[in-house]
Amino acid sequence: MRAAVRAGLLDEDAPLAAFIDLRGIEETAAALREAWPKHLDVRHAFAAKANCLVPVLRTLRGHGFGCEVASAGELAQALAAGFTPRELVFDSPAKSRAEIEAALAAGIALNADNFQELERIDAFMARAEAGTHSDIGVRINPQTGLGGIEAMSTSGEHSKFGVPLRDAGSRARIVDAYARRPWLRWIHVHAGSQGMASKVIGASVAAVAGLALEINQACDERRVVGIDIGGGLTVDFEGERAPGFAGHAQAILAAAPQLARGEFRIVTEFGRSVMAKNGFMASRVEYTKVAGGRNVAITHLGAHVATRTAFAPESWPLRVLAYDAHGMPSRERVTTQDIAGPCCFAGDLVARAYPLPRLRQGDIAVIPDTGAYYFSTPFRYNSLPMPAVYGFEVVSGEVRFTLLRRAESIADVVAETLGQVTAQGRSEAA
Ligand SMILES: Cc1ncc(COP(=O)(O)O)c(C=O)c1O
């Protein structure tokens, strides 16, 4: 923080900024790699939704990651970051016909969400003389139950994702779908994100591995060659525990011994656990006040960059750290404080009654663990601009910053909302 203040990255004109630990990403990538036994064929595809900034994706690719994308926008970002089609996996429950055909023509792996999507792929296959080089799978909802956050649980009975495995007649229909399509050689499951115990994720992978074996028996050949096990490893937002990649891998391999024996190739799609601990946000405290006897710090950390925390604080608690105006850890007395944001609604708080050294005007509030699904995917409330994002590294004792995303200007915000844009309007906005 001291280096950031000295470098002028946080001041009255730029009161909010985000930071990404580039060396941390490298260490996380190594930890994830090491967690899986060397003899297994495992590819780690980073879930781009967790942090879609092109320089971040490029960095992850440099550390050996592939990339899982869930929209045309994320696909374009991944390609801009240098990922080749063979390094990509395309998942989404609502792929358009054009998106499916473009992915198959490019040889991008794809997981079909439902039987109707499979019919669209059938139509492409019937027309495409050369077929496709894409690995194609079906996403299965094993219906193995919810995790700690219902909205993030995708293996509940009624989940919108994938083909439900336990509904009447569904299992037989899935086996038949594979039997009829020799090009269907992968299978996909993502049980949920944050709040899913590794055991529950293991049970969902085991359910799908069992299905894959049944399909192979029915086809009398090794039809399903690989299982994409999704992501979902829970992050410790209330403390400093690093993601337990090794324990998670062990839990999955114990639950699904077919995977441990190397009977299937494996793709993973971790997002939050790769990036959350490698990013933080920092904001100048604009004002302080006391309301109803409670201290309130008004900052620029609000729902536009911490959307889930503002709207569902029980599910998405964040820690807050206090620094003085020079970027040194605050030595003030600890009191309980609300850390509020700039958005015009009462719930725009990133922490409530939080014990923290008393913040003063001009001090800096830092929210760690926000490298995934926070500032990289902002919410356009009150037309607040996106903050700058800086990568940092310590080189020979010095902190070096690299601009990864420039701060949006007010002109950018206006330009995005002009509607029918005329040349004059564009220049007025500028
Ligand atoms: C299909 C799929 N894969 C991977 C992920 C990444 O999950 P996480 O960031 O929890 O690892 C998600 C998250 O929503 C997802 O939907």
List, for residues 111-159, the tens digit of each pLDDT value: 999 999 999 999 999 998 878 999 999 999 999 888 889 889 888 899 9
Q: In this structure, are residues 110 and 90 in contact, taking their beta carbons and an 8 Å threshold?
A: yes
Ligand 1 atom showing the smallest separation from residue 154 Cα: 16
Hey, CA dihedral for 155, 160, 166, 171, is it positive or negative? Answer: negative
CA-closest residue to ligand 1 atom 13: 193
Task: Please give the share of the chain, as a percent, with pLDDT higher than 70.
Answer: 97
Q: Give the pLDDT score at 28.
A: 98
Q: In this structure, are residues 387 and 409 in contact, taking their beta carbons and an 8 Å threshold?
A: no
152 CA distance to ligand 1 centroid (A)? 9
Q: Give the pLDDT score at 131.
A: 87
C-beta atoms surrounding 424 within 10 Å: 8
Domains of the chain: 22-276 (3.20.20.10), 279-416 (2.40.37.10)
Q: Give the pLDDT score at 370.
A: 98
Q: Give the pLDDT score at 130.
A: 78
Spatial distance between the Cα atoms of 24 and 304, rounded to a whole number of angstroms: 25
352 CA distance to ligand 1 centroid (A)? 28
Q: Give the pLDDT score at 425.
A: 61
Q: What is the pLDDT along the chain (430 residues), one digit of tens a residue?
A: 999 999 999 999 999 999 999 999 999 999 999 999 999 999 999 999 999 999 999 999 999 999 999 999 999 999 999 999 999 999 999 999 999 999 999 999 999 999 999 999 999 999 988 789 999 999 999 998 888 898 898 888 999 999 999 999 999 999 999 999 999 999 999 999 998 999 999 999 999 999 999 999 999 999 999 999 999 999 999 999 999 999 999 999 999 999 999 999 999 999 999 999 999 999 999 999 999 999 999 999 999 999 999 999 999 999 999 999 999 999 999 999 999 999 999 999 999 999 999 999 999 999 999 999 999 999 999 999 999 999 999 999 999 999 999 999 999 999 999 986 666 666 665 5
Q: Give the pLDDT score at 146.
A: 87
Q: Give the pLDDT score at 238.
A: 95
Q: Which residues approach ligand 1 with their CB closer than 6 A?
A: 47, 49-50, 68, 91, 190, 193-194, 230-233, 269-273
194 CA distance to ligand 1 centroid (A)? 9
Q: In this structure, are residues 377 and 73 in contact, taking their beta carbons and an 8 Å threshold?
A: no
Spatial distance between the Cα atoms of 179 and 167, rounded to a whole number of angstroms: 19
List, for residues 290-321, the tens digit of each pLDDT value: 999 999 999 999 999 999 999 999 999 999 99
Q: At what angle do helices 97-106 and 115-127 cross, to 10 degrees?
A: 50
Q: Give the pLDDT score at 419.
A: 83
CA-closest residue to ligand 1 atom 5: 231
393 CA distance to ligand 1 centroid (A)? 27
